[in-house]
Amino acid sequence: MRTLKPKHQRLVLVVVALIALLAAGLLAAYALRSQASYFYLPEQLLADPPEIGQPVRLGGMVEEGSLATDSDGVTMRFMVTGRENSRIPVRFSGIAPDLFVEGSGVVAEGRLASNGVFVADNLLAKHDENYVPRELQDMEQHQAAEMAEETTVGLE
């Protein structure tokens, strides 16, 4: 039996490593493709709905007056609205985030059912960008700025 020269051994090792790396990359791409969840606005979901059961994300605003809890105390129903007065009914069973209220932004992760209702597995509530710490809520803007400046004086 003939042995390979060290030069050829390295070449075989490099080729095997490249094949393994390529196989791992293809496997990862396939797994990500099947797990990808697309983001839809309500108007996009109505215009071009995904396949029934395909995991997607629906983002919009929770319509005022639409939030209702079923008699089981866990299932909630509400409408998600978009920019063009489009409305999507959503059903969610579980514990909603603390920031989830009517009139706020929401991203619902789930699937579109055959009856047109979006069945959410998870809710992500969006907060507004005007966050003010509780300690600074009753202060005027210049007072809050002075307090913030005082707390950073010794940090420089």
Q: How confident is the model at residue 150 (pLDDT cuts 50, 70, 90)?
A: low
If one looks up domain 38-126 in CATH, what number appears? 2.40.50.140
Q: How far apart are CA 108 and CA 46, in angstroms?
A: 15
Tell whether pTM > 0.75. Answer: no
Q: How confident is the model at residue 109 (pLDDT cuts 50, 70, 90)?
A: very high
Q: How far apart are CA 139 and CA 118, in angstroms?
A: 43
CB 119 within 8 A of CB 113: yes
Is pLDDT larger for residue 139 or for residue 23?
23
Residue 88 φ then ψ, to 5°: -125, 125
CB 91 within 8 A of CB 80: no
The pLDDT tens digits for 34-82 are: 656 688 899 988 888 888 888 899 999 999 999 999 998 899 999 999 8
Q: Which residue in the block uniquely carries the two structure tokens 């095997």?
A: 16
Report which of 53, 59, 57 is spatially closest to residue 37, judged by C-alpha positions: 57
* CB-CB neighbours of 18 under 10 Å: 10
Three-state secondary structure call for residue 118: strand
User: Which amino acid is present at 91?
Assistant: R
Instruction: List b or e across 103-125, with b for residues whose CB sees 16 or more CB atoms inside 10 angstroms.
Output: eebbbbbbbbeeeeebbbeebee
